Structure 1
Amino acid sequence: MSTRAHGTRNRYVHGPDEHDQPGPCRCTPCRAANAEAQAQYHRVTAQRAWGAAPPAYVDAAPARAHLKMLAKHGIGWKRAAALSGVANGAVSRLLYGLGEQPPSARIRPETEAKILAVQPSLDVLSAKTPVDATGTRRRVQALVALGWSLSELARRIGWIPTNMPTLAHPATTTVQAATARLVRDLYNQLSMHPAPVGGSATRARRMAETKGWLPPLAWDDDLIDLPDADLKTEVERRAADMDDEESSRCWSARYKQGDLSPLIAAGAREHVRRLKQGQAAS
């Protein structure tokens, strides 16, 4: 029994017929489906001739370059094919050609869109791919500020406790993607839960305070992973967009309540800048 359904052009062309015998099917639903497919083809062809519809094929170079970029981040072409939903054969031909044929010069727009949609985000990188350690370091430091000791954090991610301080140290510039995922997931689990009261928690908080490590509430989700230079640029941009009341509240939070959050500190600096600017103008 064929799996091709009645009422489709596929069965109209390839069969089986209405009695499930070899040969094209000419039942009424299949004839109607074929007629509609032909009409749609002619409509789209006419629209493309007038520039009113997207082209049937696009240059393959951008998609090919994107695949090569993904490979540099540890996402091989087979992994990229699986993530994009594009067949392995199509991706292989795009990169390497087939036999003596050169790589594909053109691909369908929908194929390009699927490939370009795959980004080297943390969740899809291979385990050993090196990534910037900034977010991992800040998350570890923030959890220590909540009272979670480095040894307890190490235990929870399956690390040897003596290795854990490297994740919190500024000299660590990269970590493996697998490590970054472990710390991110642990942070999501613990960031709203202070450590149980006790000597270990007290010592952890004291260490964090001494080192100037910020707690989770100091970090917005879209800021915690930004490298220092990018973070400075972004918080200054946001501070510049604040109205006077907002920047004044930031100044109070920074200097009256001791809030060291990057955005609060930037808002406080912006408040002082505006005050000095106003004094100079007067």
Structure 2
Amino acid sequence: MQHGEYATYVIQRCRCAECKAASAAYARERYRLQAYGRWQPFADAEAVRIHVLNLRRYISYDAIAALAKVSARSIDLLVYGEGGSTGSARIRTEPARRLLALTIDLDTLPDDTRINVAGSRRRLQALMLRGWPMPLVAARCDVPRWQLDRVLNKAMILRAYQARAIRDVTALLFDQDPPRTNRGERHAASVVRNRARRSGWMPLAAWDDIDDPDAEPDLGATVSRAQAVTEDAEFLARQGFTPDQVAERLQISRGYLQTARARAAASA
């Protein structure tokens, strides 16, 4: 809670000038609404609770309380109630209004806000599926390589500024191939891509809402490897690549490319 809030005046018993002014403003508003017969200090809690539980999928309860400028106690009562098993049936109108107005916008979240790692992890996985090693990704954003490794492997949360950096670098790199100017770079890209494939990681296009922790990937209709190779080869050929260049881009031999085309034609 912050100074200048009515909740700070009541719950923390702060009597600074700002909190006293907030208490006086609250009292004036209450008297005014009472005079007009419109005083409704409480609202039904169910819609607010559902909204807060949805927000909780992305950020912590503490972050929700801080961003909505309500007390953590209000969140506890809303979700768990007095006994810790059933949420409260009513909530004060002003906290309800603030909570319902709260939405998750990564661009406006304070840098240190802790958020769910799901979207950032999926973005890094998609980059690795493209062949991008983490050292090259780290070199292009403001997140150290060791932190990217934690996001990929075991972290459950990360800071908002890190999520923004990962989102921005993904937008920059997702449609580009990593450098492959020498044998070492080609080997590194191949190792990363093979790891991603073995792990079953998904491209960005597989996610309708990549930041939703409960989202399931959707790749559309399943096609055989021969069909996929043939479609990719035809796309590259239309861009002017020679058969040798197509095979190199797809990291296959020309012989396998011919075999894949024959198998795809036979199954058509």
Q: TM-score, normalised by structure 1?
A: 0.44
Q: TM-score, normalised by structure 2?
A: 0.46
* Higher CA-based Rg: 1
